[in-house]
A and B are shown apart, each in its own frame.
Chain A
């Protein structure tokens, strides 16, 4: 090892260490922000290490500098712009877009490395050509799936794409198998030296990404994004084999493992298996045909005014925020309501289901944005025993996560899913636009219970009316 090699080795080692510490730190609320900055610094360090290595050895041509600067400036300024502008409620699709671009990067660099090999320039390059080709092919395959899948996921979450009915037919599995087999054939051709099959591989794997993602329902999308996030790590690791970089391999492998764990956690929270998410199609399309449909017999609806009166008389209120609240962007209005109640001496707690919001943990982010103190957010296991001692529960845009069927009805598709036991409270108000079912498409037995009242309307509108009613009652004014 000569001097530049040693320097690069040490820098890479430090970068890996900092990245690992960064990921670890991200797992604790107190250290998370610093950890994120630490990881960003590690990335910067790795770039500095790489550039100074080449400056100290082969040198970097002026032309290369120009392209490096153009690429970096355009990419990072557009990324920064999006990151600063995007509303917090759109986080899932933003992460999907970022992830797709990461996949695109791996895909492009692999295509470039294949069409214009640069490893041969290295004298006595240690990578054997075969392994080089396999790594490139893996990088293309995974990169293309990550890109096309993430873009479809983003478009669906944005509402640009719906779930077309024809994607729900069983024949789609056949189509996807054709795409998969075609990719495999192109893969084999490619590593046996048939250069032109690269385009077949790119097209077939992109179509596979689309074909697998398109039939999946919107609510299952976070699971898919998390899985695709894992893929982009794998694509990065494969690219690491191409350019012979341990740092890339380690970082890619860590992200790949992270995505897998997260995916598993999300599936558990929704009582879905990964297999059924990927191959089961949109849940609603299935279950309406099979079971769980049924008429509501005992719906009580009430006015905002009644709701305000009951709230005023309460000692203890639990708010159950869900997907609908996130979509209506009503978290700030909700915070105003709870502030008023607190000023009147009413204890307010937020019950957070593990998959509340549009992603696990998303609801916490949204409520934090609205200045809800961290201590008021309680997780399901903690809050469930507290419902019997609670006067009023406000269910806002949550549906399946408060369905007692999951506990009582063994024939229900929801059976076994962890739910919040809101029906144990004295009064439950469900604020909802109409009687439509949750994403599972299943009737919610909670709505039929005698202690449940429905307040129909858009979450944001109902909450602002509630503020007005509470004001009239003199709540929160001292």
Chain B
């Protein structure tokens, strides 16, 4: 891809984000923030690319691996924690009687 197409991708992606998120009820703001935060861990793809393209024995392997670890901490933890929050909303009233 050349640079200006990538810029278009950036612009359209931002507009899409504004449109998608513009209409969220306050109830879901915390889960949404947490979910969006998990998605921002998509840098794991950059870390993976770095590890794959690294020369043998290059320190890049270690840097990439640590970066991947941080990213996956963000992604996996983020999705689990979001799911925990949302699971509470979908709890059915039938579970009321203890």
Q: Do A and B come from one complex?
A: yes
Closest Cβ of chain B: how far from A153's Cβ, in Å? Answer: 13
Question: Does A258 sit within 8 A of B, measured CB to CB?
Answer: yes
Q: Which of B24, B29, B62, B95 contacts A67 (CB 8 A)?
A: B62
- By DSSP majority rule, is chain A's interface helix, strand, loop, or mixed? helix
Q: For the complex, give the distance between the alpha carbons of A259 and B88 in Å.
A: 23
Contact partner, A68, options B1, B43, B48, B91, Cβ 8 Å: B48
**Contacting pair A83 B21 (CB below 8 A):** no
Q: A116-B60, A254-B17, A262-B29 are in contact. Are A79 and B75 (CB under 8 A)?
A: yes
Q: How many Å lie between the Cα of A359 and that of B20 in the bound state?
A: 21
A118-B13 Cα distance, complex, nearest whole Å: 26
Q: Are B87 and A109 in contact (CB under 8 A)?
A: no
Taking A67-B62, A83-B76 as contacts, is the C-beta distance between A20 and B30 under 8 angstroms? no
Nearest CB in chain B to that of A70: its residue:
B65
Which among B33, B44, B76, B79 is the interface contact of A105 at CB below 8 angstroms? B44
Nearest A residue to B46 via CB reads A239
B25 → A minimal CB distance (Å): 7
Query: Is A209 interfacial (CB 8 A cutoff)?
Result: no
Which residues in window 220-265 of A have CB below 8 A to B?
225-226, 229, 232-233, 235-237, 239-262, 265
Q: Compute how far the CA of A178 lies from the CA of B39 in the bound complex, rounded to whole angstroms.
A: 33
Given contacts A75-B69, A116-B60, A254-B17, contact A83 B84 (CB under 8 A): yes
Do the beta carbons of B3 and A127 come within 8 Å of each other? yes
Are B40 and A236 neighbours in the complex by a CB distance under 8 Å? Answer: yes
Q: Which of B53-87 contact A (CB under 8 A)?
A: 53-87
A253 to B37, Cβ gap below 8 A?
no
Partner of B37, one of A47, A232, A374: A232
**CB of A331, distance to nearest CB on chain B (Å):** 11
In Å, the complex CA distance between A84 and B57 comes to 36
The listed residue with most B CB atoms (<10 A of its CB), out of A54, A243, A266, is A243
Task: Check A71 against B52 for contact (C-beta < 8 Å).
Answer: no
Do the beta carbons of A22 and B35 come within 8 Å of each other?
yes
Contact B36 A108 (CB under 8 A): no
- Give A54-76 as 1s and 0s: 1 = Cβ < 8 Å from B's Cβ atoms: 10001011011001101110111
A246 to B13, CA, bound (A): 10
Q: Which of A53-107 contact B (CB under 8 A)?
A: 54, 58, 60-61, 63-64, 67-68, 70-72, 74-76, 78-80, 82-84, 86, 88, 91, 94-95, 98-99, 101-102, 104-106
Which bracket fits the contact residues of B?
A: 35 or more
Please report the C-alpha to C-alpha distance between residue A251 and residue B21 in the assembled complex, in whole angstroms: 13
A274 CA to B83 CA, complexed, in Å: 29
Question: Which residue of chain B has its CB nearest to the CB of A143?
Answer: B43
Given contacts A71-B66, A91-B30, contact A50 B49 (CB under 8 A): yes
In the assembly, what is the distance between CA of A98 and CA of B29, in Å? 16
Given contacts A75-B68, A102-B41, A112-B64, contact A255 B74 (CB under 8 A): no
Chain A residue nearest to B87 (CB atoms) is A33
Contacts A116-B59, A256-B14 given; does A102 touch B40 at CB 8 Å? yes
Question: In the bound complex, what is the Cα–Cα distance between A215 and B40 (angstroms)?
Answer: 26
Across the interface, do A258 and B17 meet the contact criterion of CB distance under 8 Å? yes
Q: Which of B10, B33, B48 contacts A229 (CB 8 A)?
A: B33
Known interface pairs A22-B39, A23-B36; 4 further A-B residue pairs with C-beta atoms within 8 A, sorted by A's residue number: A27-B32, A39-B35, A79-B80, A105-B41
A-B contact list, 18 entries, CB within 8 Å: A32-B31, A39-B35, A40-B79, A54-B52, A68-B52, A71-B65, A75-B69, A79-B78, A86-B81, A105-B44, A108-B70, A109-B50, A113-B46, A121-B53, A236-B42, A257-B17, A360-B29, A379-B26
Closest A-B pairs by Cβ, 10 of them: A257-B17, A79-B77, A253-B13, A75-B72, A75-B69, A71-B68, A83-B80, A361-B29, A254-B17, A71-B65
